[in-house]
Structures are given as C-alpha cells and as structure tokens.
Amino acid sequence: MKGFVDDIEELTEENSSFRRVLYTAKKMQLVVMALRPGEEIGEEVHNDRDQFFRLEKGNGEISIDGTISEIKTGTAMIVPAGARHNIKNTGDETLKLYTLYAPPNHADGTVHTTKLAAEASKEHFDGKTTE
C-alpha cells in the first residue's frame, strides 16, 4: 500500500468542487470541500463516525449540537459521532476546507461539483478503498 502523501493545503485551496474524496482507507477518509459565500454543508448527524475539519481559507461558522462558533483560516474542528452539525460560509470568498471521516462516509472517488449534485446523490461508502 502507498497510503496518501501530498500537500493538503494546496489540494484544498485548488479544489473548486463542493465535495471531492481524495483518499479512502478502511477506517478513515480524506475529503476536500469548497463552499461558496452563503453556502453551507447542511445540518447532518453521523451516528457511527467522528469527523475532523480544518479550514484552510475563508470565514464561517460551525454549529455543533446547537453551539455556534465562528471559524477562520487555520481553525480545526472535531465533531463527535452523534452530534448534529453544520458549517456555513459567512464570508465573501469561497470557503476551503478538508475533512476526515472515521470511518469513511462516501464512496471512494466521489466528486460532487455542486451542493445540488451532492444532495441529489444517493452514494455512500460501499467498503471499497482507494487501494
């Protein structure tokens, strides 16, 4: 196995897709995201997985079980399994972030160019990994 080795800051900042899965292991998944001004991930709960986020560029807010915190470039966030959460871009430039799901949440190789495409998709992690 080769694993994943790359410049995550560069990959995150260059990404223009709402969601792009970069690497899927058996117990963890790396995804980059881009939220346009005013856009949000959408409130969700993952009962069976933890999630880590790092904001590489932009300003916004995260809600975790009703507690809202302002976030900016460099902010790291951990959402425990079972917590209702959402991230919203409150700035005037595209918000760029990456997230780690543990265990994976999306099918390997998934790319949703827009939030609309993501909402229309029924894909979920199917057990197939990157390698």
Which pLDDT band holds residue 76 (cuts at 50, 70, 90)? Answer: very high
pTM (whole model) above 0.85 = yes
Cβ proximity of 131 and 25 under 8 Å? no
Cβ proximity of 13 and 57 under 8 Å? yes
CA distance from start to end of the chain: 7
**Residues forming beta bridges with residue 77, ordered by sequence position:** 53
- The structural domains of the chain, with segments of one domain joined by +, span 8-120
| CATH no. of 8-120 | 2.60.120.10
pLDDT value of position 85: 98
Share of the chain above pLDDT 90, in %: 99
